[in-house]
Structure 1
């Protein structure tokens, strides 16, 4: 049984969104918290060194924001492919 082309496009777009958002999260959590820590520690945020802040708080805030972005993107994708209603699929 083959998967309809519409479903393939939907999942391809979904996986693209996931890959981009996870890459952003990785860059913020690993890059800002570990790799670029020394550079970011030149600056402070709320009395804390910026590299420390990203390692402790910033990556969590970015992750929560990315969840909201993912929900927004998926709602748009669902509307585009007609998956936004529970009974929208043809039987």
Structure 2
């Protein structure tokens, strides 16, 4: 029984470590550092969530794409690592 409990604990710990390795995506509160480190799908999720939080409805794909370009430019120029993506100019 102790071996089984140890194996379960090790599996859960390993899973927690893996899930913590990615960039933290929190919609508009995502930092530029985390946004730039995220993969394309996570960037899409962050921008989509930010726009939905602002407007209350899902944004059109064209708006999401345009906002991603704006956020990318902001984070690579005027934004700092701890700047939030919601600070980027967008419609």
Larger gyration radius, structure 1 or structure 2: 1
TM-score by length of 2: 0.33
Higher helix fraction (1 or 2): 1
Higher strand fraction (1 or 2): 1
